[in-house]
A and B are shown apart, each in its own frame.
Chain A
Amino acid sequence: MKVLVAVKRVVDYNVKVRVKSDNSGVDIANVKMSMNPFDEIAVEEAVRLKEKGVVTEVIAVSCGVAQCQETLRTAMAIGADRGILVETAEELQPLAVAKLLKALVDKEQPGLVILGKQAIDDDCNQTGQMLAALADMPQATFASKVELTADKASVTREVDGGLETLAINLPAVITTDLRLNEPRYVTLPNIMKAKKKQLDTFKPEDLGVDVAPRIKTLKVVEPAKRSAGIKVPDVATLVDKLKNVAKVI
């Protein structure tokens, strides 16, 4: 069984972004870019399924600018067998990415597609579910445990208030939550090996997909600042402030 894993290049987890002074967006010039953390978990899960012998090939896909190649090389260093880049300089919104992935699903016929539940830049949490709808596949989002057989997956999901387990027929879409696994550190020999792995590039036109954005960003501003309050010297003062000043207890 083939597994397709989608990976997004995003501003690194540790970078605190700044809003541009003309309010047109956030400034991402010269900031560190990395693989979206949830996508790293997705790659790790796919590679573990291959190591268990249920999966034969792991294909990493990224959609975006040419530098997404680096993100794909990271996925291949974790253990993906090959990479596909859908290259475009256009802004890609989740619906467009889902359509690109759908075209690749038609081409590659994977038994399973694994994606991160959300990207930490636009915080949309949409692409996996949209792909499942377009490809008419069942979905299991926010996965914290995945068990795979030849034609079914049992997936434990993180839902409000606890966990829920679903059985889904393959082919299917799974999106990862934080506790699904802990991605391995990539080693230098694996980084070297990844450089030699196959990486194919397509344009959205090659896949017959219109990626024009549907949602226009009018402006981006800093959030209202919350100002620091006061330090209290002891517990008694704290209780007094909560009771008599803030009046919340």
Chain B
Amino acid sequence: MTSLVIAEHDNASIKGATLNTVTAAAAIGADVHVLVAGHNAGAAAAAAAQIAGVSKVIHADGASLEAGLAENVAAQVLAIASNYTHILFPATANGKNVAPRVAAKLDVGQISDITKVDSPDTFERPIYAGNAIATVQSADAVKVITVRTTGFDAAATGGAAAVETAGAAADSGKSSFVGREVTKSDRPELTAAKIIVSGGRALGSSEKFNEVMTPLADKLGAAIGASRAAVDAGYAANDLQVGQTGKIVAPQLYVACGISGAIQHLAGMKDSKVIVAINKDPEAPIFSVADFGLEADLFTAVPELVAAL
């Protein structure tokens, strides 16, 4: 029994989601190998070798793997899949993109978004926006899994695994990378942030969203999130959406400002350690999950909070 973790990386470094996925793989109880598939990704492979609990890193390097195209990365995983009983991806945009391709080619079902490992073939995963937790058992020979990173602690560093190089999969020739528009920000990444301040539709406009939320985020060194309503209304960028179909987050502190708390939003943040809700509607469902609720107009309360911090 050996598990393979597909690393999330940007060629230069390993992303935090990889560390949570290694912890999930370790809970299965088998040896853990990590695949770093990229281009000029030596630094990422070296970083992967330092994750505690990893016994081997496989570093596949080639131009076909630079942009993380699903067709090529899946082919890379499939080339070594027969050595493994479990193949785990972080449930990030990249992991979700590639994992089902691997599962389908292996003719096995996929277990998405696991939050707990019960045994090597039994896992827990949320369904219906987290309104129910299913315990599922796979009968397939190989388990292809995506890991909800908020369900597992990050693995420590301090390991010294061997790095083995592998030839890169050939380019499929069917898709090509055109460009990337990365939201430039000095703030911590939403899914990795210790503190998140999140704004809802009550902010009323994109200008107000920035004017009210930015000083609070600056003061707390926090990432900024948003409800779907705020994103749909154009107040905040798409990739800031927290919820069932957006980002799933679990920071130490989540401050919800002017967010009513639809079940789809709660699904994305209810595992946060401490939740603060600021809302002028005393009936807002967000108060039912908040540790500290402040019934107030956010336009006065948030600046007051910034001043008091």
A214 B138 Cβ-Cβ under 8 A: yes
Residue B293 contacts which of A217, A226, A232 (CB distance < 8 angstroms)?
A232
Question: A53-61, A162-170, A183-191, A193-201: which lies at the B interface?
Answer: A162-170
**A119 → chain B closest CB, angstroms:** 10
Question: A43-51, A68-76, A106-114, A132-140: which lies at the B interface?
Answer: A132-140
Residue B288 contacts which of A120, A141, A228, A230 (CB distance < 8 angstroms)?
A228
A139 B70 Cβ-Cβ under 8 A: yes
B128 A138 Cβ-Cβ under 8 A: no
A160 B110 Cβ-Cβ under 8 A: no
A242 B127 Cβ-Cβ under 8 A: no
B305 A123 Cβ-Cβ under 8 A: no
Which residue of chain A has its CB nearest to the CB of B178?
A165
**B235 → chain A closest CB, angstroms:** 13
Residue A123 contacts which of B112, B137, B180, B238 (CB distance < 8 angstroms)?
B112
Kindly state the separation between the CA atoms of A165 and B177 in the bound complex, as whole angstroms.
Answer: 6
Do A168 and B127 form a contact, CB below 8 Å, given A142-B93, A218-B136? no
Residue B100 contacts which of A126, A226, A238 (CB distance < 8 angstroms)?
A126
Interface size, A (range): 35 or more
Give a binary string over A10-30; 1 marks a CB under 8 Å from any B CB, 0 the rest. 010100110100000010000
Interface size, B (range): 35 or more
Question: Within A66-119, which residues are at the interface with B (CB < 8 Å)?
Answer: 93-95, 98, 117-118
Interface of B is mostly: mixed
A137 B174 Cβ-Cβ under 8 A: yes
Q: Does A178 contact B (CB under 8 A)?
A: yes
B291 A246 Cβ-Cβ under 8 A: yes
Do A122 and B127 form a contact, CB below 8 Å, given A165-B180, A214-B108, A215-B139? yes
Q: Does B96 contact A (CB under 8 A)?
A: yes
Do A242 and B132 form a contact, CB below 8 Å, given A124-B112, A164-B180, A235-B305? no
B270 A226 Cβ-Cβ under 8 A: yes
A231 B220 Cβ-Cβ under 8 A: no
Do A94 and B109 form a contact, CB below 8 Å, given A17-B131, A139-B101? yes
B172 A138 Cβ-Cβ under 8 A: yes
Kindly state the separation between the CA atoms of A159 and B70 in the bound complex, as whole angstroms.
Answer: 13
Kindly state the separation between the CA atoms of A13 and B131 in the bound complex, as whole angstroms.
Answer: 12
A222 B294 Cβ-Cβ under 8 A: no
Kindly state the separation between the CA atoms of A118 and B99 in the bound complex, as whole angstroms.
Answer: 14
Kindly state the separation between the CA atoms of A241 and B292 in the bound complex, as whole angstroms.
Answer: 8
A166 B69 Cβ-Cβ under 8 A: yes
Q: Does A150 contact B (CB under 8 A)?
A: no
Q: Does A121 contact B (CB under 8 A)?
A: yes
Kindly state the separation between the CA atoms of A120 and B189 in the bound complex, as whole angstroms.
Answer: 26
B245 A129 Cβ-Cβ under 8 A: no
Q: Does B111 contact A (CB under 8 A)?
A: yes
B132 A165 Cβ-Cβ under 8 A: no
Kindly state the separation between the CA atoms of A94 and B134 in the bound complex, as whole angstroms.
Answer: 16
Q: For residue B92, which residues in chain A have a CB less than 8 angstroms away from its CB?
A: 160
A229 B126 Cβ-Cβ under 8 A: no
Which residue of chain B has its CB nearest to the CB of A130?
B104
Which residue of chain A has its CB nearest to the CB of B222?
A249
A242 B139 Cβ-Cβ under 8 A: no
B100 A118 Cβ-Cβ under 8 A: no
**A55 → chain B closest CB, angstroms:** 20
Do A218 and B129 form a contact, CB below 8 Å, given A94-B100, A133-B105? no
Question: Within B111-157, which residues are at the interface with A (CB < 8 Å)?
Answer: 111-113, 122, 126-140
Q: Does A234 contact B (CB under 8 A)?
A: yes
Give a binary string over B177-192; 1 marks a CB under 8 Å from any A CB, 0 the rest. 1111111000001010
**A93 → chain B closest CB, angstroms:** 6
Q: For residue B132, which residues in chain A have a CB less than 8 angstroms away from its CB?
A: 17, 19, 26, 220-223
B109 A95 Cβ-Cβ under 8 A: yes
**B271 → chain A closest CB, angstroms:** 8
Kindly state the separation between the CA atoms of A179 and B230 in the bound complex, as whole angstroms.
Answer: 12
Write 7 A-B pairs (CB below 8 A) sorted by A numbering.
A142-B93, A161-B189, A162-B181, A221-B132, A228-B293, A249-B253, A249-B309
Binding site for A on B (CB under 8 A): 67, 69-71, 74, 92-94, 96-105, 107-113, 122, 126-140, 172-183, 189, 191, 195, 220, 228, 231-232, 238-239, 241, 244-245, 247, 252-253, 263-264, 270, 273-276, 287-296, 301, 304-305, 308-309
Binding site for B on A (CB under 8 A): 11, 13, 16-17, 19, 26, 38, 93-95, 98, 117-118, 120-134, 137-142, 144, 154, 157-169, 172, 177-179, 213-223, 226, 228-232, 234-236, 238-239, 241-242, 246, 248-249
